[in-house]
Amino acid sequence: ELCFRVPTRSPAEQPQKHYGITSAISLAPPRDIDHQYTQKLCDAMKPFGVFEDEEELNHRLAVLGKLNNFVKEWIAEISELKNLPPSAISCVGGKIFTFGSYRLGVHTKGLSGVVLAPMLLCESACWREHLSRGSGQQSAAAVEDAFVPVIKFKFDGIEIDLLFARLALQSIPDNLDLRGDSILRNLDIRCIRSLNGCRVTDEILYLVPNKENFRLTLRAIKLWAKRRGIYSNMLGFLGGVSWAMLVARTCQLYPNAVAATLVHKFFLVFSKWEWPNPVLLKQPEESNLNLPVWDPRVNPSDRYHLMPIITPAYPQQNSTYNVSTSTRTIMSEEFKYGLSVTDEILQGKAEWSKLFEPPSFFQKYKHYIVLTASASTEENHLEWIGLVESKIRVLVGNLERNEYITLAHVNPQSFPGSKENRNENDFVSMWFIGIIFKKVENAESVNIDLTYDIQSFTDTVYRQANNINMLKDGMKIEATHVKKKQLHQYLPPELVQKKKRVSLWSLSHTHTHTHTQSVTVCVVFNRSSRLSLQSIAELNRSSNGGNPKRMSLDNSHLDTSRDTDSGTPFSSPTSEPSKPVSDMDDR
């Protein structure tokens, strides 16, 4: 299969080129043993379905070809309505440019692209109608009020996300190069955002020394990140484009290495990286387009980014602005653990499968907060959990600022609500946040009140739902504190009873934030009346409409919905006052 080819060309056959903002750490060519380890890496990834076979590849190409034909037909129709001569109509063009995992060549399912149209088109509104008429898709959903407007639909069994951009060109040739900054001239901000994904993806591929080695390494790192629960831009971890840039930087530092070596060097480099020093694939270039870019010298807010990974295409942005103190701590620990495992693998002491073993999240912490999102219908539930998921990092931030909390670790995977913990007719999803409390000196018991942290989170969610007219009867979010031994009330036995493997690494590399205090921790939620639509409206007026929109070119659509693990969230306080949770000892 094409996916399993291991590049064997000798570096001596390739002209050596300087990549990145520094010189390479090593130019050493791969040894025979490195190729053998790379083949074993491929074999270990195969059961996880990360490679696409020839039939799937051809099907995806056929779908993309059909969609491109729809684009050209649509633009031709508009051209006729505008009375363009036949000679001009035949040349006006139009095309879908892919981005994200598909364009990088590491896709497994789904497809993301941007429809590029010439300046004669005024808007994308009629594109959805034409798409439904031409392709027979009645389920195309337009999200026009999103930061980057997108149309989501399924075509021939493949999930598609399409953005739209109108360029300041008379025609759109098939060989159009989007890398030049001049393509952005005279475009509105929404079109610039839509183009950003393609431009960043193209620039990443241009800046790596060997695309095949890069792609295989990226497949491995993405699989590892998903298996370890740290793949979610929305929840404050990293999304697809951020992982791609870290892998690309590793490839620049070791330009002649093959995938097995690059995976090991990836963990070596980023387990020792001194954040918040930014990761850059190239020096940011100046432009006279005056678009907002990431620059801590100019923008004070950029100085507070914890783990900056800067996109290489103008306008340069930080793709990891969602990262929090907790998520950076968790990812840093995972980098160190990945280094220890790959050390063992390359020493012949372990197999690659060990790298992809999931963590024991439900054995790792003594305390958890269970977030529950529920709605009375399936349609409302899907809409509701999408909103709550996008706000969970607000709760994590609130918890991090609590003086008694060291770390808040949200599990990106959501779980269906158990029958015992929901109404019979409700649709329920749950999220779990592991909590580590600070050690309190000279105290036998500590009462920790999380009322404000929870209430401000629920206020944010309900306010946003009200602002976009989403809030419906039956939509609720709830928070419950549980100890590890109570998790069996919410989760299936195989998750909570899994025995954690003890390795030499875990014995010698205990979490620096883990403590052994023997004190009673009593977590209290003082629950007020459930928020009503009227009280939400009052809350809105008093806060002047909630949080202001970002003024920078936010990179939210570089990490598409394909890259974010789906999950669920959280509920407003009940009318009954809660009792302090008993038996909260931290032993």
Residues annotated within the binding site for ATP are: 99-101, 108, 161, 222, 231, 240-241
d(CA 499, CA 255): 40
Locate tokens 């024991």: which residue?
360
User: Please, which residues have CB within 8 angstroms of residue 153's CB and are 6 or more apart in sequence?
Assistant: 131, 137, 139, 140, 141, 159, 160, 162
User: Please, which residues have CB within 8 angstroms of residue 326's CB and are 6 or more apart in sequence?
Assistant: 236, 396, 400, 407, 408, 409
d(CA 229, CA 506): 18
Q: Which of 446, 482, 493, 506 is nearest to 366 (CA)?
A: 482
Three-state SS string over 296-315 comes to: CCCCHHHHHCCCCEECCCCC
User: Please, which residues have CB within 8 angstroms of residue 262's CB and are 6 or more apart in sequence?
Assistant: 213, 217, 247, 250, 251, 254
Residues annotated in a binding site: 99-101, 108, 161, 222, 231, 240-241
User: Please, which residues have CB within 8 angstroms of residue 17's CB and are 6 or more apart in sequence?
Assistant: 209, 255
Is residue 99 within 8 Å of residue 240, measured between CB atoms? no
Is the Cα dihedral 298, 301, 305, 309 positive or negative? negative
User: Please, which residues have CB within 8 angstroms of residue 9's CB and are 6 or more apart in sequence?
Assistant: none
Map residue 488 onto helix, strand or coil: helix
Is residue 373 within 8 Å of residue 571, measured between CB atoms? yes
Angle of CA points 429, 431, 436, to nearest 5°: 160
Residues annotated in a binding site for Mg(2+): 161
